[in-house]
Chains A and B, each alone.
Chain A
Amino acid sequence: MNVFHDAGHLFRLAAVFLAGLVLFLVLRGFLVPRSFGQYGHYRGAAIAEIADRPVHFAGHQACETCHGDVQEKKAAGRHAHVNCEACHGPLGQHADDPTSVQPPKLDTAVLCVRCHEQNAAKPKTFPQVASAEHSSGLACDTCHQPHSPAIAGAGAGK
């Protein structure tokens, strides 16, 4: 007795399933990016895309290639470890094109108090002033040079 006597409909059903499977595999091949699963359950190419964003802060190493004089002045004072762009702002464009992109002029009245205005939560050893009383309205750079802020001959030089 032939078991496949009336099996035609089974083969037709199997063919439908097979066609569906092939369609699924083909679509999957097109829709899933090639780098998916390269490192894990995510698109590996995304890492390079994120790393490709432009840089806005050039970094103090870039500044020091040209402004060595300022670096020397800074190194002797209390601001030795304050990086350039912490006060001067993001200057990646200036580093890329030093002539046509000039950094803006800074206002010490705004800048210095960001760090040095008195606040109970600041570390006790950090030099702080109540700006309204400290300078009676004079700009900070009347007495202090920002790159080396100690006043010459003023003793402790806070």
Chain B
Amino acid sequence: MNITRRHLLLLLPAAALAWEHVLAGTPEAAPNYQMSQHWWGMLIDIPKCIGCGNCVRACQAENDVPDGYFRTWVERYHVADWGLENPDVDSPDGGKHGFPPAREAGGKNFFVPKLCNHCADSPCTQVCPVGATFISPDGVVLIDKKYCLGCRYCVQACPYGCRFINPKTETAEKCTLCYHRITKGLTTACCENCPTGARQLADLKNPSDPIHEFLKTHTVQVLKPHMATYAKVYYNGLDGSVR
């Protein structure tokens, strides 16, 4: 085959266009989903939590979380009558198989489900040296597994202990707020499987979401507000002893 200079000059723009197409990557997974129309968070109603561990099991099944690691877990608090500052907290296997009877009688006992708080101003995204973790335009803190080096900087930066290093991939991992579900119009696996409605996915940009009425009429807190992370997991009925 004989390529003249004229043919080569004609071929170059075509090759450039093709290369552009290769670099553009995969198309948007859910074409009807507009990132700019959502701002995701979650509501956790502590007085409704029964510590059944359904959320922990559902999360593991949905997201292939390795055994012994947790994207969400349930803690049991025991606060003695005199010890608000020193609660006794346990979480056997993340609460995956429920909780044994309380060790001590009396005091105050309750469950606190925990997960990534999807902070609007998160320390974990600020410390990543390679831009592998970020907050998406719809308010979900995500990890780009292809970019993560596994340096563990974000793991120690999270004030809530929500991140871990996956032993198989050696990359950081955490709750994605079931991003693959919420972008398809489903709720998260933990909310879907919570039998008492203690966990509810909330879209703060949707004016008809019941979260707005709930936030107006209840005393709602976030974890560690003094860290100024602007956490978006709202706890109703949160006790002062919860850390």
- A49 contacts chain B at the CB level, 8 A cutoff: yes
CA distance A2 to B186 in the complex (A): 76
**Which of A55, A82, A123 has the largest number of chain B CB atoms within 10 A?**
A123
Q: How far is the CB of A71 from chain B (nearest CB, A)?
A: 15
- Establish whether residues A114 and B54, one from each chain, have CB atoms under 8 Å apart when the complex forms: yes
- A115 contacts chain B at the CB level, 8 A cutoff: yes
Contacts between chains A and B (CB distance < 8 A), count: 142
Main secondary structure of the interface of A (DSSP, over half): loop
Report how many residues on chain B are interfacial, defined by Cβ distance under 8 Å: 60
- Establish whether residues B61 and A56, one from each chain, have CB atoms under 8 Å apart when the complex forms: yes
Q: How far is the CB of A140 from chain B (nearest CB, A)?
A: 15
- A47 contacts chain B at the CB level, 8 A cutoff: yes
Contact of B132 among A42, A45, A51, A89 (CB under 8 A): A42
CA distance A56 to B30 in the complex (A): 17
- Establish whether residues A126 and B134, one from each chain, have CB atoms under 8 Å apart when the complex forms: no
**Residues of chain A contacted by B58 (CB below 8 angstroms):** 57, 85-86, 90
- Establish whether residues A57 and B50, one from each chain, have CB atoms under 8 Å apart when the complex forms: no
- B98 contacts chain A at the CB level, 8 A cutoff: yes
CA distance A47 to B211 in the complex (A): 25
- Establish whether residues B187 and A86, one from each chain, have CB atoms under 8 Å apart when the complex forms: no
CA distance A45 to B102 in the complex (A): 48
- A36 contacts chain B at the CB level, 8 A cutoff: yes
- A134 contacts chain B at the CB level, 8 A cutoff: no
CA distance A81 to B199 in the complex (A): 12
**Residues of chain B contacted by A55 (CB below 8 angstroms):** 62, 180-181, 184, 186
- Establish whether residues B192 and A85, one from each chain, have CB atoms under 8 Å apart when the complex forms: yes
- Establish whether residues A57 and B142, one from each chain, have CB atoms under 8 Å apart when the complex forms: no
Q: How far is the CB of A78 from chain B (nearest CB, A)?
A: 11
**Residues of chain A contacted by B26 (CB below 8 angstroms):** 45, 48-49, 52
**Residues of chain A contacted by B29 (CB below 8 angstroms):** 48, 51-52
Q: How far is the CB of B42 from chain A (nearest CB, A)?
A: 16
- Establish whether residues A51 and B180, one from each chain, have CB atoms under 8 Å apart when the complex forms: yes
Contact of B134 among A41, A45, A52, A81 (CB under 8 A): A41
- B207 contacts chain A at the CB level, 8 A cutoff: no
- Establish whether residues A114 and B53, one from each chain, have CB atoms under 8 Å apart when the complex forms: yes
CA distance A55 to B47 in the complex (A): 30
**Residues of chain B contacted by A86 (CB below 8 angstroms):** 54, 58, 192-195
**Residues of chain A contacted by B83 (CB below 8 angstroms):** none
Chain A: which residue is nearest B48 at the CB level?
A123
**Residues of chain B contacted by A79 (CB below 8 angstroms):** 195
- B240 contacts chain A at the CB level, 8 A cutoff: no
- B69 contacts chain A at the CB level, 8 A cutoff: no
**Residues of chain A contacted by B134 (CB below 8 angstroms):** 39-42, 46
- Establish whether residues A50 and B180, one from each chain, have CB atoms under 8 Å apart when the complex forms: yes
- Establish whether residues A34 and B24, one from each chain, have CB atoms under 8 Å apart when the complex forms: yes
- Establish whether residues B51 and A57, one from each chain, have CB atoms under 8 Å apart when the complex forms: no
Q: How far is the CB of A126 from chain B (nearest CB, A)?
A: 5
Q: Mark B residues whose CB is within 8 Å of A.
A: 20, 23-30, 33, 35, 47-54, 58, 61-62, 76-78, 98-99, 101-102, 105, 109-111, 131-137, 142, 144-147, 176, 179-181, 183-184, 186-187, 189, 192-197
